[in-house]
């Protein structure tokens, strides 16, 4: 199984949430998918070097139509953003992303739908994630490097919320079951994911054998918790986005 199929990212509209590798996952998928648009519903660091070109426009659907009319052989992937503020691009409101996905030009739309400030684990805030209504697949990321680290701001984005979801006290070591809880909770990675969307937890930074052992333990716990509760998880992808072939394993 290749990366795009393992992540169910060969659908039309894929959103990435969580922590520990969202941007690298988006860039890897954009490079592998045909006629892909990379955008966001939140702020995103400048990513011009990761795509063929970036269009900054408040009319992305019109820009896509004009681009298609100019030259059918335009290079892909394409970045689409609403504005630039310093070292960040500004994304679009979710309904606009739905319109982008419905346009004729792109075959795939990839969306950064929340932020994590480069931490390894997170739980969403009150206004997160920013998911378009028509999302086909939601990828929820967590880094295996969070396991064994203290539940604090150095490692976790919004540690108070992660503590609330997991029952772990701030400062305590993060256990595999805590990561699994975040990835299977409606207050964690599953927050606001539509019932008809495919949901795939992704354990990233599986960079060596020790990481792989941790990832397998977390992944088994994710599958067990899902089976015992909502049944939303049919697979867990293990990845190393620094590797030439990022897909390490798929647990089902």
Please report, for the domain that includes residue 232, its CATH number.
3.40.50
pLDDT of residue 69: 64
Residues of the chain with pLDDT under 50: none
C-alpha pair distances (Å), 13 with each of 122, 169, 172, 202 = 23, 37, 37, 17
Burial zone of 242 (CB within 10 Å; 0-12 exposed, 13-18 middle, 19+ buried): exposed
**Domain extent for 32:** 3-251
Closest CA relative to residue 63, chosen from 51, 75, 81, 76: 81
Question: Whole-angstrom Cα distance, residue 57 to residue 27?
Answer: 20
Q: Give the residue carrying structure tokens 């028509």.
A: 134
pLDDT of residue 105: 87
pLDDT of residue 1: 83
Rounded to two decimals, what is the model's pTM?
0.97
pLDDT of residue 72: 58
Q: How many domains does the chain have?
A: 1
pLDDT of residue 94: 98
Closest CA relative to residue 168, chosen from 146, 190, 193, 144: 146
* Strand extents, DSSP E, 71-122: 78-81, 83-85, 88-90, 108-112, 121-122
Closest CA relative to residue 16, chosen from 243, 219, 166, 201: 201
């Amino acid at each position: 199984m290749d990366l795009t199929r393992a992540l169910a990212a060969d659908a039309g509209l894929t959103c990435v949430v969580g922590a520990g590798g969202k941007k690298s996952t988006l860039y890897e998928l954009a490079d592998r998918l045909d006629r892909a648009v990379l955008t966001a519903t939140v702020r995103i660091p400048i990513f011009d070097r990761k795509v063929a070109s970036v269009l900054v426009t408040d009319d992305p659907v019109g820009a896509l139509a004009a681009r298609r009319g100019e030259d059918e052989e335009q290079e892909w992937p394409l970045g689409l953003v609403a504005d630039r503020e310093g070292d960040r691009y500004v994304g679009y409101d979710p309904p606009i992303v739905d319109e982008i996905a419905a346009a004729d030009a792109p075959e795939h739309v990839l969306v950064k739908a929340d932020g994590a400030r480069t931490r390894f684990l997170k739980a969403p805030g009150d206004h997160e994630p920013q998911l378009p209504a028509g999302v086909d697949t939601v990828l929820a990321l967590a880094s295996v490097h969070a396991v064994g680290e203290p539940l604090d701001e150095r490692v976790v984005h919004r540690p108070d919320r992660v503590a609330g979801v997991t029952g772990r006290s701030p400062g305590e070591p993060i256990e595999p079951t805590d990561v699994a809880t975040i990835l299977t909770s409606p207050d964690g990675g599953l927050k606001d994911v539509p019932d008809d969307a495919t949901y795939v937890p992704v354990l990233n930074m599986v960079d060596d054998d020790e990481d792989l052992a941790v990832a397998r333990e977390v992944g088994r716990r994710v599958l067990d918790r899902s089976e015992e509760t909502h049944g939303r998880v049919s697979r867990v992808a293990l990845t190393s986005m620094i590797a030439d072939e990022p897909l390490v394993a798929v647990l089902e």
